[in-house]
Structure 1
Amino acid sequence: MMVGFAFYRDGGGLGFSTRLFFFLAFSLIVTDAQKSINPAEEGVELMVLAESDFLWDDDNWTVSGNASNFQHGTRMIKAADDGPDTWYFVAPGKFTGAKRAAYGGKITFKHGFFEYNSEGQDAQRDAFDVVLVSEAYELVIGYRNLYPAWEFRSEHSVELLESAGWISNSTGGPPSRPDMVRVLTKLSSIRFRGGIYHGHEDAYLMSVKLYAGPVDS
């Protein structure tokens, strides 16, 4: 921040205006420095720990479960199914491992369908839409009801905090803070649900990013 003041000298010493200038300038510098090192401040961008934009290829993503025709598309990956089975897009190694820095951060992504058939039934809501797994700590933490029913495209931003709506698979309730930290510290897998309907689906995933949280979280 640049601020200008008019000031003068009283004889050989510093006058009141000069001292006022130094005080205000120092205060502004300290204030700006405090703002610049506070990552939780609104408008400050979080660091991206891993991302896949699928510009050139599938970026080593895979699928798990009963999905078929997995392939790379235009800035996306996609796969299909012909029934009610749950299946997932599985993130590559750059999204896993030691990701303690992601605590307090977020996962963002886009998900959608080229087509779907509900077979006259509601969307399936029992399974997790996003799943975090730590084999080392035997933890599975997931997030339900992210995908809106009857929509062809949706964007999501999910905070990586125990209070953000995550569910511990072992308890059926919110994870504790230590468990949320543990699952990220030794993260074995991140999975994103592909289909939610009972009939045929052709689903896609786009623009996945994993962000770090505040430094002091």
Structure 2
Amino acid sequence: MIGKFLLLAAASLSTALAAAPLSLHSVAQVSAGGEVVVTLPGYDSDIGTQLTAVITKLPTDGKLYQLSDVHSKYGYDPKKGVEITSVPTTIVDAATGKTRVLYVRPSVDREGAGEFDRFEYTVDDQTVTSIAGTVVVVGDGVNFIASDFSAGGESWTVEGNRVGGSAVSFEASSRGSLNHYVYGTDDSLNMEGGNDSDLWYFNAPSKFLGWQGVYYGGEMKFTMSSFSGDFSSSNLNADTYLVKLFCAQCDTNKGVTIGFPLSASSFDGSTKTFSLSMVESGGWLRDPENTLEAWTVPTKCDFVEVLSGLTSVQILGDFTKWYESVSLDDVVFKKGTAVSSIPFCAQGTPDASTCSCSGGFTS
């Protein structure tokens, strides 16, 4: 009896210690009005384990289908099998070791400024089920999230020099390389020692927030220009940050802010496109949340976690110690290639709060 109990206990312990598989976040690229076979890249450290994939969240602007039997087995058309209309739905892919679905765009379609869609899936190894992974669907370009302001201000706001959440001003015309853009101005000054001590920022709308981990390893781009203001070096707010990324739930809900220092770039008021590398070694610094301590280089885990739970994205508008008017155009989160660069060590949980990464960025 004791021997049987020990065997059962050992089996239970073995199951408990079995490594949970990972539903890896990924990117799928498709043409407008087209279709693409998407591999759901589950990962299991237990060698030889057969994984089963389950769709847990459907796309909102496209459709998912099981692969047809002939395409699954032999690669022949037609690709389209049974439509997946509810969740959870187990993926039926007859090819050995494969977990694939067909994603189809609407027949009347066009590629806009940003990603097409998202859906989620889990994998299991007949013992443990993974936490859901996200598949981001993009067009032929690599601008995953973007504001080009072609039709308006897109819910961007200005924070710091007027009533919080005030809408940006929108200009539906061209000015040099700016074409349909937004702008903000110093509406109020808080003078200390002859200088304006308050800073104002362009505040990004909700589409830039939440889980954006897929942009780790990519870049953030935007174009700025100024209509008025003294941008001489002696009048600049040099000790501040060009961009701030904030995650309220990071570090066990303590909150983490990562900023790109203005001193690492230059802006004299003339039109300039900024390109910031979305990795911890790209010049970013982490706020210590203590005015007596210096900002430090974030870890890989810090950076991935912030991108996996963005609460706010702010771009500096207040560059000088006096009045200025600053415009903003073509804000983009992008990647050089349509491939997720999130390392395995940061994918234990969707928000990257379970992370064991060390060292610098590797693609």
Report the TM-score range of the alignment, normalised by the length of the smaller protein: 0.7 to 0.9
Query: Do the aligned partners of 2:212 and 2:307 also contact (CA within 8 Å) in 1?
Result: yes
Opposite residue 169 of structure 2, the aligned amino acid is: Q
CA displacement, residues 85-111 of structure 1 (integer Å, 9 cap, x when unaligned): 211001101011110101001100001
Partner amino acid for 2:201? Y
Partner residue of 1:48 out of 139, 143, 147? 143
How far is the alpha carbon of 1:207 from its aligned partner?
0.5
TM-superposed deviation, 1:120: 8.7
CA RMSD in angstroms, aligned pairs only: 2.2
Instruction: Report what 1:192 is aligned to.
Output: 315
Report Cα offsets for 1:149-202 as digits up to 9, x if no partner: 433221111010000000001151110000000000011111100021111101
SS in 1 for 2:234: coil
Match of 2:152 in 1: 57
Contact 1:147 1:154 in 2 (8 A): no
Distance 2:214 2:183 in 1: 29
- 3-state SS of paired residue (1:121): helix
5 Å-filtered alignment, 1:159-178, equals 159-170=277-288, 172-178=295-301
TM-score, length-scaled by structure 2:
0.45
Please report how far the alpha carbon of residue 148 of structure 1 lies from its aligned counterpart in structure 2 after TM superposition: 2.3
| Structure 2 equivalent of residue 182 of structure 1 | 305
Pair 1:120–1:208, CA change in 2 (3 A): closer
> Secondary structure of 2:235's partner?
coil
Q: Is residue 203–residue 315 contact of structure 2 (8 Å, CA) maintained in 1?
A: yes
Cα separation, 1, equivalents of 2:268 and 2:218? 29
CA displacement at 1:73 relative to structure 2: 1.0
For residues 107 and 118 of structure 1, do their structure 2 counterparts lie closer, same or farther at Cα, with a shift above 3 Å needed? Answer: closer
Higher relative contact order, structure no. (Cα contacts within 8 Å, ≥ 6 residues apart) = 1
**Residue 215 of structure 1: aligned partner:** 340
Q: Structure 1 pair 199/136, CA: closer, same or farther in 2 (3 Å)? A: same
Q: Say how many residue pairs are matched.
A: 173
User: Residue 261 of structure 2 is aligned with which of 132, 135, 144?
Assistant: 144
Please tell me whether the aligned partners of residues 219 and 278 of structure 2 are also in contact (alpha carbons under 8 angstroms). Answer: yes
Secondary structure of the corresponding residue to residue 94 of structure 1: helix
> Where in structure 1 are there 5+ consecutive unaligned residues?
1-44
Task: Note if 1:104 corresponds to 2:217.
Answer: yes
Provide TM-score, normalisation by structure 1. Answer: 0.73
CA distance in 2, matches of 1:94, 1:178: 23
SS of the residue corresponding to residue 241 of structure 2 reads: coil
In structure 2, list runs of 5 or more residues that go unmatched: 1-139, 173-179, 190-195, 289-293, 343-363
The 5 A counterparts of 1:107-122 are 107-117=220-230, 121-122=234-235
The 3 A distance-change label for structure 1 pair 69 and 215 is: closer
Which position in structure 2 is the counterpart of 1:34? none
1:42-74 CA-to-partner distances (Å, cap 9, x unmatched) read: xxx873221000111100111110158831113
Q: Could you tell me which amino acid in structure 2 is paired with residue 62 of structure 1? A: T
1:104–1:117 Cα change, 3 Å: same
Letter of the 2:147 partner, please give it.
S
| Other-structure match for 2:99 | none
Change in CA separation of 1:46 and 1:135 when aligned onto 2, cut-off 3 Å: farther
1:76 alignment partner AA: Y
Secondary structure in 2 aligned to 1:66?
Answer: coil
Identity percentage over the alignment? Answer: 27
